Amino acid sequence: MSPLSADPAGARAEGQRLLRAFIDAGAQAVETPVLQPAEVLLDLYGEDIRARAYVTQDPLAGEMMLRPDFTVPVVQAHMEEGAEPARYAYLGRVYRKQEEPGTARTSEYLQVGFELFDGSDRAGADAEVFALIHDLLAPLGLRAAIGDIGILRAAVAGLPASEARKGALMRHLWRPARFRALLQRYAGRRPPSPERAALLERLARGERPESDAPHIGLRSPDEIAARLDRLAEDAAATPLSGALVDALEAMLAISAKAPQALEELRDSARVMPWILEAVAGMAARLDRLAARGIDVAALDFEASYGRTSMEYYDGFVFGLYAEARPDLPPVASGGRYDALTSVLGQGRSIPAVGGVIRPEMVVALKGGG
């Protein structure tokens, strides 16, 4: 039997225990429908989750999906009627396709979570969520890994590059290979293909490709013309300095215990001073974690952590892992998602952070699975 096929009753009881702990920490228990509207919500998840969502058609409601997580529907409900500050907790099943043969992961599993909406002290809120989940799982001896998408976003936002180039990099934060390829191209280190080079030369001369063939495809002629204009503008842009690109890539490669990583990030700020505020935010978070009894010297910080998970994270991110089982997903994970509240808030936004635990994994690990 797979370790994640633990006794459902035992997993449900463990989920209830964790849910009570979240309620004791001041959270209001909430539920969300299993079926969620797909049209808007799918765009808010990462590429991995979108590909693994169960989507169906409802004759009245349109395209629907089985919820792949709780955070998005909880945020949506809060932004419609909630006040700040607020704490929510939930327990229920989520659904994600598993396409890797032989995987120990299941397509349907319990998730218990805690979400905190509070803008009075972001570092303190981050520390509260992490410490609560960390302490609940402390008997399992899990490895904790943390990161900060906000530092990477600040690094990109401050680059001496066009808004179009920075926008492209922001869109591909979650695709590390594509992100690096763009950086290399913007630094002039990655030559275009012969076909692209020929097109760029024509655009530089003010020429536009013409054809007598009938128009086909999804893009309109105006959209194609706008795309050609953007290509011409990009080709004429000043390349990023190689030293700056090297510094950004070195920052992304930082992987060390949190205090050492903080010093390395401060070194990165000598070349990219625009990340100083975000780095100071990390320092404040470590102080708040230490105040809650977390041994920050034992925390693994990875500057690229979280770049292949939920795309709505935009700040602090974390995961707790069973080191003896590297084949398993994190037992718990979470992060900050301020931008998500803006997307769902229709003009309103509230700083927010949350985390989830997988009760089946907790039960399996307690049993030595």
pLDDT number for residue 157: 97
- How many CB atoms lie under 10 A from the CB of residue 297? 11
CB distance 357 to 112 below 8 Å? yes
pLDDT number for residue 38: 79
* Residue 215 domain-assigned (yes or no): no
Strand order across the 86-95 sheet: 28-29, 86-95, 108-117, 352-357, 332-336, 316-321, 143-148, 300-302, 255-257
H or E segment to which residue 355 belongs: strand 352-357
pLDDT number for residue 101: 53
pLDDT in tens, 35-76: 888 777 667 765 666 677 888 888 887 888 888 889 888 998
pLDDT number for residue 3: 46
Q: Which segments of 25-121 does DSSP mark as H helices, in order?
A: 38-41, 47-52, 71-81
CA distance 111 to 91: 6
Range of the domain at 41: 3-142+322-366
Strands 108-117 and 143-148: unpaired
Eight-class DSSP state of 263 = H
- How many CB atoms lie under 10 A from the CB of residue 342? 15
CA distance 262 to 98: 36
Give the type of residue at 257. K
Q: Please give the tally of structural domains in the chain.
A: 1
Closest by Cα among 153, 150, 155 to 240: 155
pLDDT number for residue 46: 59
* Residue 359 domain-assigned (yes or no): yes
Q: Which residues, 6 or more positions from 70, have their beta carbon under 8 angstroms from its beta carbon?
A: 32, 90, 92, 94, 111, 113, 356
Eight-class DSSP state of 85 = S
Give the type of residue at 289. L
* Residue 37 domain-assigned (yes or no): yes
* Residue 214 domain-assigned (yes or no): no
* Residue 213 domain-assigned (yes or no): no
CA distance 153 to 346: 23
- How many CB atoms lie under 10 A from the CB of residue 24? 10
pLDDT in tens, 131-147: 999 999 999 999 999 99
* Residue 357 domain-assigned (yes or no): yes
- Check which CATH number belongs to the domain holding 106 and give it: 3.30.930.10
List, for the chain, all residue ranges whose pLDDT scores fall below the cut of 70.
Answer: 1-8, 41-42, 45-50, 99-105, 190-193, 195-237, 368-369
Q: Please, what sign has the CA dihedral across residues 357, 360, 364, 367?
A: positive
Write down the pTM of the prediction.
Answer: 0.85
Eight-class DSSP state of 284 = H
pLDDT number for residue 1: 36
**What are the structure tokens assigned to 259, written together?**
């205090």
pLDDT number for residue 9: 76
Q: Which residues of 189-221 are buried (b: 16+ CB within 10 A; e: fewer)?
A: eeeeeeeeeebbeebeeeeeeeeeeeeeeeeee
Closest by Cα among 361, 363, 355, 368 to 135: 355
* Residue 121 domain-assigned (yes or no): yes
CA distance 206 to 119: 50
